[in-house]
Structure 1
Amino acid sequence: MQIIVLTCLVAVAVAAPQFEEPVVELLRDERVFNEDGTFSYAVEADNGIKTAVSGSIGAGGQINQEGSYTFILEDGTQALVSFVANENGFQPQSSLLPTPHPLPEHVFELLEIAERQRAAGIVFE
């Protein structure tokens, strides 16, 4: 009985999937940190990921940053995201980001009517 249990355990151990950790090699890693609080870094990996950021201390004591990062999409194209991060928050720009649908023409007409009513002193409660 012990041999059967031992044989089953060995079979399960041999049949278990073997995973290999992906290895990413850094092609570029440049970092500069200055005593005045400014900094910059640029990193590039062999899998197509790249980032470059520069930063400084803002007027309110926050860290302001601007930079970009790129990565490879599933279809093989390269995606680019540029950004600014400051007292106004994180502001990315990319063709990947969703955009709102354009407003229908009648909305602009309604906004004009509302503006004329406000100018004429008409108030709705």
Structure 2
Amino acid sequence: MKFVILATLAAVALAAPKPDYTKAAARSALDSSEEIGILRQDLVMEDDGRYNLDVETANGIFVSQSGTPEGPDNSVVKSGSFSWTAPDGTPVVVTFVADENGYQPQSDVLPVAPEFPHPIPQFVLEQIEKARQEDAARARGDFSSEEDSYRPPASYRAP
């Protein structure tokens, strides 16, 4: 009897319609978006693989890039820029090169890694010096600090 009830519940669960969240999300995005006009779109493609592309939209997005098949194995080396205004009013301009070294963007709005070598805080320098002094003391066999007061038997020490 339990088997029949479980089989019935499983059949009902499998037969239940499943919501399609993908369509609902896409429908919501379409309902809330507006069409943005393309003011200019210029694409020039040469027979040798070179190209130039310029696009400008009504909401202030601008894209300009060019490419040539001058990379390794005739891969296309690209360079260009794109720009727009962020929601907070900040103008965003990104220039880039894409070649055998990968995609290399540059912009004032991109995060920047700290310069290397970056300044080392004084407390770190002091800790490094302390470790150097302790290593030198160990090498001489001079264990004067409380932490180094334990001296293992000679049979445990490295030659």
Shared topology, TM-score over 0.5? yes
* Structure 1 runs of 4+ with >2 Å offset: 17-21
Residue identity matched to 1:99 = V
Check whether the contact 2:83–2:91 (CA below 8 A) recurs between aligned residues: yes
- The one-character-per-residue Cα deviations of 1:22-49 (angstroms, maximum 9, x if unpaired) are 1110011001000010000100001111
> For residues 83 and 59 of structure 1, what CA distance do their matches in structure 2 show?
16
1:95 aligns with 2:118: no
1:82 to 66, 73, 95: 95
Q: How far does residue 105 in structure 1 lie from its aligned partner after superposition?
A: 4.5
Aligned residue type for 1:97? L
The share of aligned pairs that are identical, in percent, is: 35
TM-score, scaled relative to structure 1: 0.66
Give the structure with the larger strand fraction.
1
> How large is the RMSD of aligned CA atoms in angstroms?
2.3
Within a 5 Å distance, the mapping from 1:36-115 to structure 2 comes to 36-60=48-72, 61-102=74-115, 103-105=118-120
Change in 2 beyond 3 A, CA 1:73/1:36: same
Aligned pair count? 92
More helix by share: 2
CA distance in 1, matches of 2:70, 2:43: 20
Q: Note the residue ranges of structure 1 that are not aligned, 5 or more in a row.
A: 1-16, 111-125
Residue 19 to residue 59, structure 1, CA distance change in 2 (3 Å): closer
Distance in 1 of aligned mates of 2:50 and 2:91: 29
Preserved CA contact (<8 Å) 1:58 1:86: no
Give, in angstroms, the shift of residue 77 of structure 1: 2.5
**C-alpha deviations, 1:53-98, integer Å up to 9, x for none?**
0100024121100000001101122200000001111010000111
